[in-house]
Amino acid sequence: MAAAVEQKRQSPSMLRWVRPPQQARTRETLGRLLDAAEGLLAEKGFEETTIAEIAGRAGSSVGGFYRRFKDKDRLVQALHERFTEESRATAADVLDPQRWAGSSTAEILSQVAEFLVRVYRERSGLLRTFLHRGVLDEAVQERQEQVFEYIADLLENLLAERTSDINHPDPALAVRFALRVLFGALDDTIQIRTTVPRLDDDRIVTELGRVMQRYLGVRETSGAPAERQQRRMFSWQR
C-alpha cells in the first residue's frame, strides 16, 4: 500500500498529453489527414495550407479528402473535436487527486502551469487556429466552454481538500477565475503576441505561478534548483 502511494506521489513528473484509443483501421486514414493538417497548420497557418498539401502529406488524394470533409472548415471542426476529446482525457489524468497526494497547492499550480505552457508551445499552430476560428464559430466556442467547465470542475475537486491553503472568501469561484486568467494569459503570451519580444517559457511559468498563487492567497514555494530542473523534464505523449 505504501509503495502504491509513493508511486502516485512521484507521478507528477510524468504529466503527459493523452490521446484516447481509436478504432484502428476504420479511422486510420482520417487520423493521417488530421495529423497532416495539424503539422501544416503549425508550419504555415490555416489560410496558407491547401487541401492538396494536406492530402499529399497524409498519403491520400484530394478526392480522399473530400470523401471525408466538405471543406477546410469542416476539417477544423474535426480537429477541434479530436482535440476536445484529448483535452478531457488529459485533464482527467493530470488532475487525478491520487497523482498529487502529498503535494502542496503551490506545487500543483506551478506544475500544471508548466505543463500547459509546454502544450501551448508544442501545439501552437493548432491552438492558434482554434483561437481565431472560435471568434465566429459557435460550435468551437461551445466545445471550448464545455472543456473549460470540465477542467475547472476537476481542478476545483483537486483543491477542495486544500481550501485552507487558499486565502479567498470564495475558494470555488477563485479557482475557476484563476483558471480563466491562466488560459487567457497563455493565449495572449504564446498565441497572439508572436512578433514582439517575448518572455522565455521558464519565465512565463514562473510569472503564471506567481499570478495564480497570489490571487488565490497561496504561499509561494521557490523550490531548489534540482526540483526546478525535474519539473522542466515533464513530458506529454500523444
Amino acid type, 191: Q
CA distance 54 to 56: 5
Question: Roughly what angle, to the nearest 10 degrees, separates helices 201-216 and 171-186?
Answer: 160
pTM here is 0.81
Amino acid type, 55: A
Q: Is residue 138 part of a domain?
A: yes
CB atoms within 10 A of CB 126: 21
Computed on alpha carbons and rounded to an integer, the radius of gyration of the chain in Å comes to 19
User: What pLDDT is attached to residue 237?
Assistant: 41
Q: Is residue 130 part of a domain?
A: yes
Q: Is residue 89 part of a domain?
A: yes
CA distance 123 to 180: 19
Contact (CB, 8 A) for 205 and 15: no
pLDDT tens across the length of the chain (238 residues): 544 444 445 455 578 777 665 555 547 889 999 999 999 999 998 999 999 999 999 999 999 999 999 999 999 999 999 999 999 999 999 999 999 999 999 999 999 999 999 999 999 999 999 998 878 889 999 999 999 999 999 999 999 989 889 999 999 999 999 999 999 999 988 887 655 557 888 999 999 999 999 999 997 654 433 344 344 334 444 5
Cell of 194: 508572436
CATH number of residue 139's parent domain: 1.10.357
For 87, the domain range is 71-232
Q: Is residue 24 part of a domain?
A: no
CB atoms within 10 A of CB 106: 20
Kindly report the CA angle at 208 between 171 and 103, in degrees rounded to 5? Answer: 60
Cell of 141: 466556442
CA distance 151 to 114: 16
Q: Is residue 32 part of a domain?
A: no
Name the residue with cell 484502428.
Answer: 24
User: What pLDDT is attached to residue 225?
Assistant: 37
Q: Is residue 35 part of a domain?
A: no
- Number of domains into which the chain is organized: 1
With the C-alpha atoms ordered 236, 56, 79, 113, is the resulting torsion angle positive or negative?
Answer: positive
User: What pLDDT is attached to residue 27?
Assistant: 73
The H-assigned helical ranges of 98-189 are 105-122, 124-133, 138-160, 171-186
What letter would DSSP give residue 167? -
Q: Is residue 204 part of a domain?
A: yes
